[in-house]
Amino acid sequence: MTIETQTGVGTAVCRLDQVRREAGVAALVDGEAVAVFRTYDDEVFALSNFDPFGKASVLARGIVGSRTVRTAAGEEEVPFVASPLLKQAFDLRTGVCLDDPAVAVPTWDVHVVDGIVVVGGRRETL
Amino acid sequence: MAPHLRKQLVVVGHGMVGHRFVQAAIERGLTETYDVVVLGEEPRPAYDRVALTSFFEVGAEALSFLPEGAYDDPRVTLRTGAVVTGIDREARQVALAGGEVVHYDELVLATGAAPFVPPVPGKDLDNVFVYRTIEDLEAIREASRGARAGAVIGGGLLGLEAANALHQLGVQTHVVEMAPRLMAVQVDDAGGAVLKRHIEELGLTVHTGVMTELIDGDDDGKVSGIKFKDEETMPLDIVIFSAGIRPRDALAREAGLEVAERGGVLVDEQCRSSDEHVWAIGECAAPGGRMYGLVAPGYTMAEVVVDTLLGGGAGAFTGADMSTKLKLLGVDVASFGDAFGTADDCLELVFADAVAGIYKKLVVTENADGGFELLGGILVGDASAYGVLRPMVGSGMALPENPEELILPAGRGGGVELGLPDEAQVCSCNDVTKAQIKAAVSDDATLNDGGPCTDAGCVTRCTKAGSTCGSCKTVVKKIVEDHFAATGKTVDKSLCEHFAMPRQELFEVVAVHGYNRFDDIIEGHGRGRGCDICKPTVASILASLLNHHVLDGSNATLQDTNDAYLANLQKNGTYSVVPRIPGGEITPDKLIVIGEVAREFGLYTKITGGQRIDLFGARMEDLPKIWKKLVDAGMESGHAYGKSLRTVKSCVGSTWCRYGVQDSVGLAIELEMRYRGLRSPHKLKGGVSGCARECAEARSKDFGIIATERGWNLYVCGNGGAIPAHAQLLAGDLDRETLIRYLDRFLMYYIRTADRLQRTSYWMDAIGGLDRIREVVVDDSLGLGAELEAAMARHVDSYFDEWKATLEDPEKLARFVSFVNAPDTPDPNITFREERGQVQAAANDGPVSLGSTIPVGGAR
Ligand code: SRM
Ligand SMILES: Cc1cc2nc3c(=O)[nH]c(=O)nc-3n(C[C@H](O)[C@H](O)[C@H](O)COP(=O)(O)OP(=O)(O)OC[C@H]3O[C@@H](n4cnc5c(N)ncnc54)[C@H](O)[C@@H]3O)c2cc1C
Ligand code: SF4
Ligand code: FES
């Protein structure tokens, strides 16, 4: 199903309540496997489902939580998913691996419209 | 150095001291200038003779100091089964039994001692033994089969150890001592009386003040009885002599070397004999005319000789600490320092509690400042203070104002904390002082791969403190902990950044508050939103406490990879399915169903190392369909995915095997069914063997049971895996009911107190060893027994099959789809290849796209 939203056109993949808090689901978007996550405070994020370390399409099945990351600006509470295979952590917002910043997985725009999760375009950059 | 300039050093005897000598020679560089040839008479390399009795539990392999059979240093040659028959001092060579001769530049005698067998008529009969080597113990074990009664002649330290071992082998045992009390060398009359009561409580019969007149034999030349002076002959089948030892100094005598009056190669403070190229160390040596029947003085002698040969004049052997602690199961006896109060002007402080069977005596003396110093003591019935008291002897340290506090039970003012001085020798077996232990953990230490030791276990490995008799371990641990505390280096016990406590504490918190949701727990006691470490930990704790479905409500998102889908994730994103096959027993019908399921879903099948069948390569969306077929055929989840009970491995046992003495399959199935689904800190495995041949490898399991003629022996805390550990005997000859009661308690105690992902063997080390487990599980010292059993009963009563329950719950089933928006499209990322006629997982280099089969829009 293709729907119009304020921000453009995207793929409606499921109702928000089909994604449990602090968990993910895999969706097929434009022929590709995308992992859609919902955090504790109901934010949604979309990452490629493919784990570049384990080389398998599994990220949606990982544990979602938060990790404190120390940067020059101070401490930040980062929402992340741990790969179910070998537990590398990925920042849900950017797709960057928290254990190895040289590695990142692609991310997608995603919104909730009237209780429906809509995955938009794949982001060109981080 | 040119090879022809190298000298040859020959060591005769590869026992405890000979081995220590070679180790020190390698470590300290003596092998730079000497080729070392070790000639040992026994068929195997040196082993831990001090721990000889545990041979019955752990076997010969575990006792070995050199399991590989050779030293790493190529300049050392070890020859076992090589008996030296003579020394030619002129030619500087030794002769071997086969006639071969070996040249030496320096000769080190480390031939140990031999048990003394008094000239009692009948001493040469069959089934008369001594207690010194692994072969002796093997023969005793063999003879104990079918034997009813036996006697150990000699009620000293070793005699009691041998007697208890014989008793444990199921033989009714008599201890025969000529002196009026047991352990006459170490313990006084009052202590001996208390000790006798303890030994009798173990089920042994003690005869003191009796003379053995003769050992009677039957027509086959086997022992049939023993006769004491002025008494009738007592029928029995085994006699073990443990009436003292004599140094093995025959080689030296025959070679004309000086020997001490009461035996032993006479040596000086450098352990050099009357021939300047011959040295003697260990029990065969008599420095200053006196031989020492303990290992620690021997170790010191070994170090001294290495020192001297290296040219360093520092070392000298000037006497030794003869402190002892009895290693008897269930009886605490220790004697140290001047135990009999032989020094002038010494005072004795005695605490005796006849009811509790405790006798403690301290020998003290007044020092120049009017305070008291400890000279020695005897502890019977409760030797817990030994580790603290022994190093105080000779340390010059003043005792607290009321020295009796040291031996009063904790409730009556005892248990005071003591600061040992740095020079105090903490480990007497290996001569390690408090200062050396502190140095090992200090920041600038280099012992541990160039860095400081990280914990007490590491200190034991690096300094040897605690590696021999083990009695100093608690003190070593305390010193290490105190050091870390003092330097502000608290060992971080946080689970992860979200919970500043270890699993054990978290377990208590959850249990006490009755929590059943992660959100409440992290809000109340943690920070942030959790991670892949604390969430599965909380999930496991909740599952242990509540035994609910792990995929219930909000707890589903806490589960680790495998638990989340009740199957094991494979590298290509598929799952494996392992139905439970209790005890490894399966009907042909079920086997056929498993085969049919595998064929229908294209699964790779393999027999696992856990006596069951694994079906690999299942797509997530197929899992429910696979389970349904298995459940309909009467099977259930095998929890291969959970940190929970895996399998209870069985051998075929008495139902078919001609050696089996109990129904091991029946018990394995019963136990697997009892503990199935039990969530725990790490996985749990069990095993049951039908006889001592141990075909089920039960001793490599967290709990292992081995059938005996009289019931079951229960072993705990073993594992295979990366660092294998043999399970240890917790209790023997149990009936079924007692066995299950102990197991219930043991498992629940582990679940409550272990750390996350800590297998039982590590947990045992962390909580204070097998003795601690025995106190809690067998003696019920914490009074927790009933509570632990009740917790297990709740688990057993509330068990259900997770697969079946999932099939019955549409909400849980909803997650088992490939794509939330395309449930009928299989994930194109999953690929297989074929090998040996079955599928295998294949890897993809990057995500696979199906192409634009679903309409999309928006910027790309
Ligand atoms: C399938 C099997 C190998 C086989 O083909 O035979 C196997 C496979 C796995 N083992 Fe194992 N182990 C299997 C028997 C064993 C055994 C042998 C035994 O049980 O007799 C051992 C040594 C004994 C022991 O555990 O003490 C064993 C020691 C381990 C370890 C190391 C544990 C340790 O304490 O060092 C791990 C890692 C862990 O658990 O953290 C492990 C972990 C694993 C995992 C679960 C790794 C994972 O997380 O995915 C493997 C996946 C299983 C799957 O996908 O189904 N497996 N594993 C065996 C399944 C037995 C069963 O029927 O359930
Ligand atoms: C059951 C038991 C419990 C013990 N418990 C303790 C304890 O708790 N604490 C403690 O300090 N001590 C204890 N001991 C004593 C301790 O084991 C000895 O002090 C120690 O083994 C002495 O070491 P060693 O090398 O001198 O002699 P051994 O270990 O006996 O080694 C001597 C070796 O030399 C070999 N040998 C002898 N003659 C020849 C020859 N001609 N040619 C080749 N090889 C030869 C022998 O076969 C033997 O292998 C215990 C002993 C036993 C038997
Ligand atoms: S352990 Fe004993 S009973 Fe079991 S199969 Fe082996 S020999 Fe037979
Ligand atoms: S005192 Fe025996 S090992 Fe330390």
Q: Which of B20, B50, B62 shows the shortest CA–CA distance to B38?
A: B20
- How do residues B40-91 score in pLDDT, each as one tens digit? 999 999 999 998 988 988 889 889 999 888 999 999 999 999 999 999 999 9
Backbone angles phi, psi at B30, to 5 degrees: -70, -25
Q: Ligand 1 mean position to B580 CA, how many Å?
A: 15
Going along B180-316, which residue ranges are E strands?
A: 205-208, 212-217, 223-228, 233-235, 238-241, 245-247, 265-267, 278-280, 285-287
Q: Which of B555, B574, B550, B554 shows the shortest CA–CA distance to B803?
A: B550
The sheet with strand B233-235 has its strands ordered as B212-217, B223-228, B233-235
Q: Kindly report the protein residue whose alpha carbon is nearest to atom 1 of ligand 4.
A: B427
B419: Cβ contacts below 8 Å, ≥ 6 apart: none
How distant is the Cα of B573 from the closest Cα of chain A, in angstroms?
6
Structure tokens at B537: 């930990």
Q: Which residue has the higher pLDDT, B407 or B647?
A: B647
What average pLDDT score do residues B21-33 get? 93
List the single residue in A36, A39, A67 with the smallest CB-CB distance to B531.
A67
Chain A residues near residue B844 by CB distance under 8 angstroms: 50, 55-56
B859: Cβ contacts below 8 Å, ≥ 6 apart: A8, A121
- How do residues B432-476 score in pLDDT, each as one tens digit? 888 999 899 888 888 877 788 888 878 888 888 887 777 777 778
Chain A CB within 8 Å of residue B810 CB: no
Lowest-pLDDT choice from B111-125, B137-151, B192-206, B652-666: B192-206
How distant is the Cα of A94 from the closest Cα of chain B, in angstroms?
18
List the single residue in B827, B853, B857 with the smallest CB-CB distance to A33.
B827
How distant is the Cα of A64 from the closest Cα of chain B, in angstroms?
7
Contacting A residues, span 21-80, partner chain B, CB-CB under 8 Å: 21-23, 25-33, 36, 39-40, 48-50, 52, 54-58, 61-68, 77, 79-80
pLDDT at B858: 34
B148: Cβ contacts below 8 Å, ≥ 6 apart: B171, B172, B236, B237
The sheet with strand B604-607 has its strands ordered as B568-569, B575-577, B613-618, B604-607
Yes or no, beta carbons of B820 and A50 under 8 Å apart: no
- How do residues B591-629 score in pLDDT, each as one tens digit? 999 999 999 999 999 999 999 999 999 999 999 999 999
Angle at B368 between CA B365 and CA B370, to 5 degrees: 70
For B354-379, b/e burial (b = at least 16 CB within 10 A) is eeebbbbbbbbeeeeeeebbbbbbbb
> Is the Cβ atom of B544 under 6 angstroms away from ligand 4?
no
Residue B265 has pLDDT above 80, yes or no: yes
* Residues B281, B299 contacting (CB under 8 angstroms): no
Q: Which of helix, strand or coil describes residue B214? A: strand
Residue B853 has pLDDT above 70, yes or no: no
Q: Which residue has the higher pLDDT, B382 or B279?
A: B279
Q: Which of helix, strand or coil describes residue B600? A: helix
pLDDT at B668: 98
Say how many C-beta atoms besides its own lie within 10 A of residue B566's C-beta.
26
Structure tokens at B611: 């006596």
B511: Cβ contacts below 8 Å, ≥ 6 apart: B545
* B2 confidence band (pLDDT: 50, 70, 90): very low
Helix, strand, coil percentages (3-state) for chain B, rounded to 5, are 35, 25, 45
Rounded distance between C-alpha atoms, residue B696 and residue B693, angstroms: 9
Backbone angles phi, psi at B101, to 5 degrees: -120, 150
Ligand found nearest the CA of B649: 1
Q: Closest-CA residue in chain B for A25? A: B820
% of residues, chain B, pLDDT over 70: 95
Q: Closest-CA residue in chain B for A26? A: B819
Structure tokens at B491: 């060992």
Q: Which residue has the higher pLDDT, B845 or B807?
A: B807
Yes or no, beta carbons of A26 and B818 under 8 Å apart: yes
Query: How many helices (H) and strands (E) are present in chain B, helices listed first?
Result: 23, 38
What average pLDDT score do residues B326-343 get? 76
> Is the Cβ atom of B323 under 6 angstroms away from ligand 4?
no
Rounded distance between C-alpha atoms, residue B730 and residue B710, angstroms: 16
Rounded distance between C-alpha atoms, residue B374 and residue B360, angstroms: 14
- How do residues B810-837 score in pLDDT, each as one tens digit? 999 999 999 999 998 999 999 999 999 9
* Residues B398, B371 contacting (CB under 8 angstroms): yes
How distant is the Cα of B556 from the closest Cα of chain A, in angstroms?
9
Number of A–B residue contacts, CB under 8 Å: 155
Atom of ligand 2 nearest to the CA of B115: 53
Yes or no, beta carbons of B556 and A63 under 8 Å apart: no
- How do residues B189-203 score in pLDDT, each as one tens digit? 888 888 888 888 888
* Residues B660, B707 contacting (CB under 8 angstroms): yes
Residue B308 has pLDDT above 60, yes or no: yes
Structure tokens at A84: 């179910």
* B859 confidence band (pLDDT: 50, 70, 90): very low
> Is the Cβ atom of B578 under 6 angstroms away from ligand 1?
yes
pLDDT at B857: 36
Contacting B residues, span 521-580, partner chain A, CB-CB under 8 Å: 528-532, 534-536, 554, 556-558, 560-561, 564-565, 569, 571-573
Q: Which residue has the higher pLDDT, B848 or B639?
A: B639
Atom of ligand 1 nearest to the CA of B720: 26
What average pLDDT score do residues B245-252 get? 95
Yes or no, beta carbons of A58 and B557 under 8 Å apart: no
Yes or no, beta carbons of B857 and A8 under 8 Å apart: yes
pLDDT at B604: 97
Residue A10, burial from CB neighbour count under 10 angstroms (0-12, 13-18, 19+):
buried
Q: How far is CA B425 from CA B93, B398, B511, B760, in A?
A: 40, 16, 44, 32
Residue B807 has pLDDT above 50, yes or no: yes
ipTM surpasses cut 0.85:
no
Q: Which of helix, strand or coil describes residue B843? A: coil
* Residues B773, B716 contacting (CB under 8 angstroms): yes
Structure tokens at B497: 């950044």
Angle at B214 between CA B208 and CA B215, to 5 degrees: 100
pLDDT at B678: 95
Atom of ligand 3 nearest to the CA of B690: 3
pLDDT at B417: 47
pLDDT at B328: 63
Q: What is the mean pLDDT of chain B?
A: 89
Rounded distance between C-alpha atoms, residue B318 and residue B287, angstroms: 8
Mutate to test the interface with A, among B537, B830, B856 (most CBs of A within 10 A): B856
Contacting B residues, span 493-512, partner chain A, CB-CB under 8 Å: 497-498
Structure tokens at B273: 């004999």
Mutation test residue for ligand 2: of B109, B283, B464, the one with most atoms within 8 Å of CB:
B283
Yes or no, beta carbons of B854 and A29 under 8 Å apart: yes
Residue B662 has pLDDT above 50, yes or no: yes
Half-sphere exposure at residue B401, Cβ-oriented, CA atoms within 13 angstroms: 1
How distant is the Cα of B760 from the closest Cα of chain A, in angstroms?
24
Atom of ligand 4 nearest to the CA of B430: 4
Residue B725 has pLDDT above 80, yes or no: yes
What average pLDDT score do residues B684-711 get? 95
The predicted model scores a pTM of 0.56
Rounded distance between C-alpha atoms, residue B193 and residue A97, angstroms: 70
Low-confidence ranges of chain A (pLDDT < 50): 5-6
Residue A112, Ramachandran bin (φ over 0: left; ψ between -120 and 50: alpha; else beta)? beta
Backbone angles phi, psi at B499, to 5 degrees: -130, 120
Structure tokens at B529: 């939103």
pLDDT at B313: 66
Yes or no, beta carbons of B857 and A2 under 8 Å apart: yes
Yes or no, beta carbons of B819 and A33 under 8 Å apart: yes
